[in-house]
Amino acid sequence: MTLALGRRDDGSASRSGLRLVLGSASPRRLQLLAQIGVKPDAVLPAEIDESPRPREEPRALAERLAGEKAFASAAIAAGHTDLAPCLTLAADTVVGVGRRILPKCETRDEAELCLDLLSGRGHRVFTGLALITASGAVRRRLVETRLRFKRLSRSEIEAYLMSAEWRGKAGGYAIQGLAGAFVERLVGSYSNVVGLPLNETAALLAGQGYHVHRSWGASLVQ
């Protein structure tokens, strides 16, 4: 288990005395939080079984896993008195075609199957957000983005597979990378497809008194 503590100072995002724990090991989510001026005080990912349940649909899976990750991470954070009081944020992103859940691809064959399925058709990306408050309550959001890929040629698919950019990515692609050339249409949050919907995340934090914009002036001065 990894504990990474961030520096806390008078220019903290919240100015509320709350610390922020991120229950995710995803470097993309850390980068997205940094984009809006947020540096978690700790990164405490928890290992859970991410397998879909029988007949579980994409949106339900994203919601469930986000909650399970948040509660598991909050339990770890409870063992660190220096983190109290804290908010624990977790997220899970799922790519779905109809009721079908696409995997986080670890093999070339998985990625090729996903790209073949996505070629020339629409799909949806769901991110479940779960925030455990200082009192132990949970606040949730589910964000949906609709996308359509152009029809991919065999040479485009082969070239993308050779890039290995698909590895570990839900649906076998990373929109912020080379696969951005495949997107014909996008309706909704772009950052949601990357892995963390920023508007909704900021709103969820603000609801608990953690206002991300309050550090922006201080960060510019530094």
> Phi-psi bin for 96: left (phi > 0), alpha (psi -120 to 50), beta?
beta
Establish whether 41 is a catalytic residue: no
| Phi/psi of residue 124, nearest 5 degrees | -130, 145
Question: E-assigned strands of the chain?
Answer: 4-5, 19-22, 42-43, 86-97, 100-102, 122-132, 138-149, 183-187
Pair 175, 149: CB distance under 8 Å: no
Identify the CA nearest to 93 among candidates 121, 61, 122: 61
Of the candidates 49, 92, 109, 116, the residue annotated as catalytic is: 92
Chain centroid to CA 106: how far? 18
Pair 77, 42: CB distance under 8 Å: yes
Burial of residue 175, with CB atoms counted within 10 A of its CB: 0-12 exposed, 13-18 middle, 19 or more buried: buried
For the annotated catalytic residues, the residue numbers are 92
